Amino acid sequence: MQDVTNLTRTQLDALREVGNIGSGNAASALAQFLNRKIDMAVPSASILDFKAIPTIIGGPGTRVMGIFLKVMGEISGRFLLLIPEKTAIRLLHTLIPGCEINDPLKMTELESSCMREVGNILAGAFLNALSVLTQTPMLNSLPSMTFDMAGAMIDGVVADMTAVSDKVLMIETSFIESEEDLRIHIFLLPEPNSLVLLLKKIGVS
Amino acid sequence: MTAIIPVGMGEMKTADKTGCLAVYGVGSCVIVSLYDSSRKLGGIVHIMLPDSSGLDPKAINPVKFADLAVGKLAKELTSQGARSEDLCAKMIGGAEMFPPTEDFENNIGRDNTEAVKKALKKLNIPLIAENTGGRRGRSVEFDVTTGIMRLSILGEEVREI
């Protein structure tokens, strides 16, 4: 098993490029879906202390929508979308004609299912690009969604990865819609036991 | 005003008389408080995983694991003057935040909760209150002056346990 804390700068750069390619494809899928221009923030691949993850989106108590998918295949991992409350509401207003929701805690089944579909499209596009890049098929599970406090969403996703080390490898990127503040954070956490294969497939083993 | 001391994942903190220990955004983790009411001395462990067996004890942080964390907190409090027979426990957390799909299910929350109960039983510490399971995140403030935990869940009234 590759220890994430021993990754070289070259390996991290290559993983960042993985994030770039995946999120580039996801951004164009979202742009098509919404029929708007979407800008992408510069992706980062970092070895993070797991406690730092909730601070990326405003602290452990921040209200946020989370969509979780498993990445399945020879290279496996976890895919987490964190969508700030404001963005989630705007997406729902854009996607569902006549939708007037202002509290995501009160989503209807139609609204939940619409957001899960957003997760499905983004993860599918991201992983498709990665499958091509690595020549290794990667599939996503059905999406699971919740709206709650950021800290609460993250602890269960990373817990078993942090049994020994406090560090997790995370490829992170976010989208910003050009005109308004529409922001989506994408986190890809490769399973530690498939990291060696991922690095080999991207030529930096 | 009482200082609020945040307790992050895998951390243990104690306070006496006027302290308030707080944890925000708890999902599958379990927060266990131990309290000696006559000495107004209490502490919290922020547990992430149920079981440390099979791992090198020297390489791990015991507070992350239910099987080690509870005993470590009890020991810490008794070393500060608490009496082990006066300690009472409360716990919150252990949710499964993401509903299972056909491709995955996640039982860390439930396993954490059960492992804490087992550890408390072994140490003979009574569990006097709990709010665990379900699919909602929790935040909690543990007031060491009174031993009361104020529990918040999004969209619900704050309650005391």
Q: What is the DSSP letter of B3?
A: P
Q: B29 catalytic, yes or no?
A: yes
Give the residue among B140, B119, B81, B100 at the shortest CA–CA distance from A61: B140
Confidence at A194, pLDDT banded by 50, 70, 90 = confident
The values of phi and psi at residue B67, to 5°, are: -70, -20
Is pLDDT at A197 greater than 80 in this prediction? yes
Confidence at A38, pLDDT banded by 50, 70, 90 = confident
Interface test with B, best of A155, A167, A168 (most B CBs within 10 A): A155
Contact B49 A163 (CB under 8 A): yes
pLDDT at B1: 56
Contacts of B155 in chain A (CB under 8 A): 105
Cβ B28 vs Cβ B95: under 8 Å: yes
Average pLDDT score over residue span B90-115: 91
Contact A163 B60 (CB under 8 A): yes
Looking at the DSSP bridge assignments, the partners of residue B24 are none
Average pLDDT score over residue span A165-173: 77
Give the residue among B67, B64, B52 at the shortest CA–CA distance from B118: B67
Average pLDDT score over residue span A56-67: 90
Percent over 90 (pLDDT), chain A: 39
Is pLDDT at A179 greater than 70 in this prediction? no
Contacts of A66 in chain B (CB under 8 A): 97-98
Cβ B41 vs Cβ B35: under 8 Å: yes
The rounded mean pLDDT for chain A is 86
**Maximum distance among all alpha carbons in chain A?**
51
- Rounded Cα distance between B64 and B69, Å, is 7
Confidence at A18, pLDDT banded by 50, 70, 90 = confident
Is pLDDT at A46 greater than 70 in this prediction? yes
Average pLDDT score over residue span B60-71: 95
pLDDT at A112: 95
Average pLDDT score over residue span B50-75: 93
Options B29, B34, B49, B74, the catalytic residue? B29
Is pLDDT at A123 greater than 80 in this prediction? yes
Is pLDDT at B13 greater than 70 in this prediction? yes
Average pLDDT score over residue span B111-122: 97
pLDDT at A186: 86
pLDDT at B146: 93
How near does any CA of chain A get to the CA of B56, in Å? 9
Q: Is A110 on the interface with B (CB under 8 A)?
A: no
- Rounded Cα distance between B120 and B142, Å, is 19
